[in-house]
Structure 1
Amino acid sequence: MPTILLLEDELPLARLLSEALERSGYRVQHYADGHRGLQAARQHPPDLLLVDVMLPGLDGFSVVRALRTTHAELPVLFLTARSTTADVVQGFEAGGNDYLKKPFSLEELLLRVRELLRRTAPATTTTPEVVPLGRYQFRPLRQELWLDGACTARLSARENELLLLLVQHRNGVVDRRTCLRRLWGDDNFFTARTMDVYVSRLRKHLRQDASLHILNIRGVGFKLIE
């Protein structure tokens, strides 16, 4: 039975979410403030963190940033009423794997929880510790890029997932729609623009090796050339 740590200060919503998740076969632990939630996650790491951005004491972004220093592979789903592009990008940069805007349906929440657990579960057994990438060493389990024996970039969870997908298809085209659905859960215009932002970030991370290129194949997808 997977354990979900729910950090939500709106108690009626927290009760509703807890009941829905428990009916779906999950064990739920709930805390209403960021400090207690962070302590609980460190002491007993859950299988998934479901966290509201606006928490008393310590906000959700800060909770996840603190956790990422020791729990790089913990799947995180942000819940928030803040829906601007900047807010969404900030959530992914903080270490979130997915972002659900309020108000949302219970069906959508359960779908995203299932998909996120499915997507992240095999990481520790199927993902190599070190992946050679040009002059770099890509360390997906630690979400890091190394060059000449030094760490040059600590990747966000979404950057890490996207780079791993590109590496797995290196010198081949990754279909844009497939990429969006696999990593973001949908392929609408908003998520497509968000993905473009992350591709640009990866290009900057890899700029010290002139032999590496992430090409935008117009109308098709992306191609990592080594």
Structure 2
Amino acid sequence: MLKILYLEDEASLAKIVKESLASRSFEVMHLESGKNAVKIFNEFKPDVCVFDVMLPEKDGFEVAKEIRAHNTITPIIFLTAKNQTTDLLMGFDAGGNDYIKKPFSLEELIVRINNLYFLSKNKSGIADSSTGVKIGKYVFSTTKQELRFEKEVRKISFRECQLLDLLTNSMREIVTRKVILDTVWGDDHFFNSRNLDVYITKLRSYFKSDPKIEIITLKSVGYRLID
């Protein structure tokens, strides 16, 4: 039975979603605010989180950031009426894995929950010792979500960490766009594809101190990381 931590302050919607998930044999812990969400997360240990963004006392983005400070694995889906690109990017940078706009289909939500749970359990990872993984003159740590160059340490977002993890795990090999989009974003629709381009540009800028490191684009195919 999959355990879902569900944050939603709209009572009528929360009742419908909770009952629908329960009818599909999900165990749902529902909270009306983000105030004690991190404490409940640590105690409940959910398989997937479903967070409304606009919440009293502490919003969904804040809760996600606090969770990602010590947990980079559990998938987080944001539910929101917002539709601006900046809001979506804020959600991904806060550590979200997926983003569903209200109003949404309950069937779509269930499919995305199952998909993200499957990916989180089957995602191949790289060995990450206490010293991290070397990429040229950089050291990359998935557990600390950081990229180190000599004495300079850059904290990277959860999604940047996932993307770099995939590329590093297949160093010098092609990682297709579809594999990246399905693994990091949950699906390969157009908006996520555009986001991927933005994140690749950001990662390239992080490696500017070592010109030997390249993230090569194979148009319409994917990317290859070389050092």
The two structures have a TM-score, normalised by structure 1, of: 0.90
Is the deviation greater in 51-60 or in 138-147? Answer: 138-147
- 2:111 is matched with which residue? 111
Residues 147 and 156, structure 2, Cα contact 8 Å, conserved in 1: yes
| 3-state secondary structure, aligned to 1:138 | strand
Q: Which residue number in structure 2 is paired with residue 61 of structure 1?
A: 61
The alpha-carbon distance between structure 1 residues 104 and 40, as it changes in their structure 2 partners (threshold 3 A), is same
Cα distance in 2 between the residues matched to 1:76 and 1:204: 27
Counterparts of 1:101 and 1:155 in 2: how far apart (Å)?
A: 26
* Alignment check: 8 A CA contact 1:127 1:141 kept: no
The question of whether the paired residues in 1 share the 8 Å contact of 2:62 and 2:94 is answered with yes
Give the distance between the partners of 2:182 and 2:66, measured in 1 at CA.
28
Cα distance between partner residues in 2 of 1:177 and 1:219: 10
Task: Pick one of 120, 141, 144 that aligns with 2:143.
Answer: 141
Contact 2:125 2:166 in 1 (8 A): no
Report the counterpart of residue 132 of structure 1 in structure 2: 134
Structure 2 gaps, min length 5:
none
Determine if contact 1:128/1:140 at 8 Å carries over to the other structure.
Answer: no
**Distance in 2, Cα, partners of 1:99 & 1:160:** 18
In the alignment, residue 128 of structure 1 is paired with which amino acid? Answer: A
Cα–Cα, structure 1 residues 140 and 166, in superposed 2: closer, same or farther, change >3 Å? same
Matched, 1:94 2:94: yes
SS of equivalent to 1:34: coil
Cα distance, 1:3 vs structure 2:
1.6
Alignment check: 8 A CA contact 2:20 2:106 kept: yes
Q: CA RMSD in A?
A: 2.0
For residues 120 and 141 of structure 1, do their structure 2 counterparts lie closer, same or farther at Cα, with a shift above 3 Å needed?
Answer: farther
TM-score (normalizing by structure 2): 0.89
Distance 1:107 1:207, change over 3 A: same
Quote how far apart the aligned CAs of 1:213 are: 0.9
Local SS of the residue matching 1:35: coil
Cα gap change, 1:177 to 1:62, in 2 (>3 Å): same
What is the distance in 2 between the residues matched to 1:122 and 1:221?
Answer: 21
2:71 partner amino acid: H
Residue in structure 2 matched with residue 174 of structure 1 by the alignment = 175
1:114-146 deviation digits (Å, cap 9, x = unpaired): 1111112256x9542232221222222332222
Match of 1:192 in 2: 193
> How many positions carry a matched residue from both structures?
224
How much does 1:160 deviate? 1.4
1:162 maps to 163
Q: 1:45 corresponds to which residue? A: 45
Deviation string 1:3-40 (CA, Å, 9 cap, x unpaired) is: 21100111121112212222223211000011032331
**Which whole-Å CA distance do the structure 1 matches of 2:77 and 2:212 have between them?**
35
Structure 1: gaps (5+ residues): none
Match of 2:204 in 1: 203
TM-aligned CA deviation for residue 151 of structure 1 = 6.4
